[in-house]
Copies of this chain bind each other. A is one copy, B any other.
Amino acid sequence: MNSVADAGLELLFRRKLAPGSDGENIYTLCNELLSTLGEASGTAIARKVIVAYEAMDAEARCVFFEKLRRDFNVDAKTVLDAANAYAAQSDDASLAKLIRAVEPPRQELFRRLNMAPNGTESLVRMRRDLLETLRDKPELKAVDADLRHLFASWFNRGFLALRRIDWETPAAVLEKLIEYETVHEMRGWDDLRRRLAPDRRCFAFFHSALPNDPLVFVEVALVKGISGEIGPIISLDRVESDPASADTAIFYSINNCHEGLRGITFGNFLIKQVVLELAREFPQLKTYATLSPVPGFRHWLSGASKPGADPELLTDAEIETLVLLGDSDWSADATKAEALQPLLTRLIAHYLLHEKRGSEPLDPVARFHLRNGARLDRINWLGDCSLERMRQSAGFLVNYVYDLKSIERNHEDYVKNHMVVASSAVTRLAQRKGK
């Protein structure tokens, strides 16, 4: 496709697309793209900028981002003048001028780059690079603000299409799932196929500018009763069940696909729309629940269990018991596991209910589902004994329940009153016995 487009464009504009040969460089091109020339040959120039950008190494890209920050920034004097004019007379006209003055030219540059073939895809990758660079160069946040502003507008919920993914889906999409699944890694095509079996569902949001590339996807198992363990769900030799006899939908894996879209959340919309889809297809479903990791538990625990820890939370004897976690195989040792279970269970319940970052839970997955209006329903001992999960959460998995009737109220309670909505079972677990 592109080579045809190139040929056409070169034909059309009698210019070589390969940059550099005639002394053109990416900055000249960016300036051309923003000039009136961009109007006539915008697609061609945008393409050249993208090609030039993608040929750069990390260092050159860093320089490029720096240039965007400084040379494609607002003009401070113009902003000042507009600000002062607005201060003098605060009317629509002076505001309009101020609005124009504060938009950095790089924002329009990004809009015009989007005209290139696969422009959106390229910009999403560019932001991924930028976010990486940004760790060492926090001043680039200003550049990121523009990309993020655009993405939030472009990837508006109204522009996303929910599509079911199954074995009829093109391989070009399916292989992306294999690549993007990081919660419970896929072990090749056979694993994928099993996750798309008739007693499973997989849904993703797509945007028309990335037609073969999901933005976020969720994997669902149709089962009887709430699952507490991941093993039986993703086992390669599990027996398929009849979806018509299921009463529960378990959302066991939700994956954001593009690092470059970080901060542009789709997951909350996805879960709710998938609940509606499933309710339509399987009216007999009674419960919609996740089976979720608790990624921050052990990191928090290692801090909380240090010498000098809060004695209300942990007695010295308990701190001692936690040393058992040092054995990487503790879960396979019945004695150790037995000793740890009640203690860890109380601690993870405490962690989820009471540990905060600001007014929200410390755990990021908890923040996500609780903010969405879900209820923390159950804590599952050794729900996932994979290395990764043992390391993160001592093998715990938890269920957040999406109850159609209370989603909105829960959300309000969470947002307005900082409440963590939880089942009484979980609440009890957080209490020290005898208290």
Residues of A near any B CB (own CB < 8 A): 3-5, 8-9, 11-15, 36-37, 39-43, 74, 76, 79-80, 83-84, 86-87, 90, 92, 95-96, 98-99, 102-103, 111, 114-116, 119-120, 139, 141-142, 145, 150, 152-154, 156-159, 161, 167-172, 174-175, 188-189, 193, 207-209, 212, 244, 268-269, 272, 275-276, 279-280, 371-373, 404-405, 407-408, 411-412, 415-416
Contact = CB atoms under 8 A, between A and B. Distances in A.
Nearest to A114: B158
- List the 9 closest pairs (A to B, CB-CB), nearest first: A83-B83, A208-B208, A40-B411, A114-B158, A36-B415, A115-B157, A8-B276, A119-B158, A92-B142
Interface-centre pick from A120, A161, A171, A193 (highest chain B CB count, 10 A): A171
Contacts of A172: 167-168
A408 B11 CA distance: 11
Nearest to A46: B158
Nearest to A265: B39
A264 to B, nearest CB: 12
A182 B286 CA distance: 48
Nearest to A277: B8
Nearest to A118: B158
A157 B14 CA distance: 22
Contact of A111 (B92, B115, B153): B153
A13 B408 contact: yes
Contact of A193 (B14, B83, B171, B279): B171
Contacts of A15: 408
Contact of A4 (B39, B102, B168, B280): B280
A150 B83 CA distance: 23
A191 to B, nearest CB: 12
A372 B95 contact: no
Contacts of A170: 167-171
Nearest to A92: B142
A403 to B, nearest CB: 10
A153 B154 CA distance: 7
B373 A40 contact: yes
22 contacts: A13-B407, A13-B408, A14-B405, A36-B411, A36-B412, A40-B372, A41-B411, A43-B157, A76-B90, A79-B98, A92-B139, A99-B103, A99-B145, A111-B153, A114-B156, A120-B158, A150-B153, A153-B154, A154-B159, A159-B208, A161-B208, A170-B171
Contacts of A95: 74, 79, 102, 142
B14 A408 contact: yes
Given A412-B40, A416-B36, A158 B115 contact: yes
A212 to B, nearest CB: 8
A175 B168 CA distance: 11
B404 A244 contact: no
Given A79-B90, A80-B87, 11 more contacts: A39-B371, A39-B411, A76-B90, A80-B86, A83-B84, A98-B102, A111-B152, A159-B209, A171-B171, A189-B189, A208-B208
A82 to B, nearest CB: 8
B145 A404 contact: no
A142 B255 CA distance: 40
Given A83-B84, A279-B8, A209 B98 contact: no
